[in-house]
């Protein structure tokens, strides 16, 4: 029975997680440099945030050396899932299809990507029809 609360990361925490997902293990300095590209904050602000995230169990760190190395403890996929789920239940009221069309309508997808999605949909359909037959009682 695991208890510790998985409250979703805050906005700033997300920014840090994204750097760590992309770069892997990083020092505060490294994360901070990257954040500076898109926002404007002091070094100790980033430091403090990462310390808090460590306290919360969102990051682990290696502090054998003076300069600590941080790594994400949460998987990108699980946060993606969490965020997408929330969005479908809230803004898109239970219809993943609406979200999908919105995403495709407003953001460019290559022919390649479109093919990929179609294949995916084909698989879903054949899966669905098999299950439809197998589970026809319930």
Partner DNA sequence: TTGATATTACGAAAACATTCGTACATTTGT
Partner DNA sequence: ACAAATGTACGAATGTTTTCGTAATATCAA
Which of 6, 25, 114, 130 contacts a second copy by CB under 8 A?
A: 114
Residue 95 partner contact from DNA, a second copy, none using kind-dependent CB cut-offs of 5 to 8 Å:
a second copy
Assess 71 for contact with DNA (CB under 7 A): no
Residue selected from 18, 21, 27, 71 as contacting DNA according to rule CB under 7 A: 27
Return d(Cα 10, Cα 116) in angstroms, integer. Answer: 33
**29 is a contact residue toward DNA (CB under 7 A):** yes
Distance, CA of 119 to CA of 102 (rounded, Å): 19
Among the listed residues 109, 73, 68, 103, the one whose alpha carbon sits nearest the alpha carbon of residue 88: 103
Q: How far apart are CA 114 and CA 97, in angstroms?
A: 15
Binding residues vs DNA (CB under 7 A): 7, 10-13, 27-29, 39, 41-45, 47-49, 51-52, 63, 65-68
């Amino acid at each position: 029975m695991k208890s510790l609360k998985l409250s979703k990361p805050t906005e700033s925490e997300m920014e840090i997680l994204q750097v760590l997902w992309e770069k892997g293990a990083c020092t505060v300095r490294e994360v901070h440099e990257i954040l500076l590209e898109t926002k404007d904050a002091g070094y100790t602000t980033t430091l403090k945030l990462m310390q808090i995230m460590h306290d919360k169990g969102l990051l682990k760190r290696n502090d054998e050396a003076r300069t600590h190395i941080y790594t994400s403890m949460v998987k990108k996929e699980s946060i993606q899932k969490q965020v997408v789920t929330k969005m479908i239940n809230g803004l898109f009221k239970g219809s993943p299809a609406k979200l999908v069309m919105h995403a495709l309508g407003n953001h460019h997808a290559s022919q390649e990507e479109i093919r990929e999605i179609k294949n995916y949909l084909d698989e879903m359909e054949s899966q669905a029809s098999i299950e439809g037959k197998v589970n026809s009682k319930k």
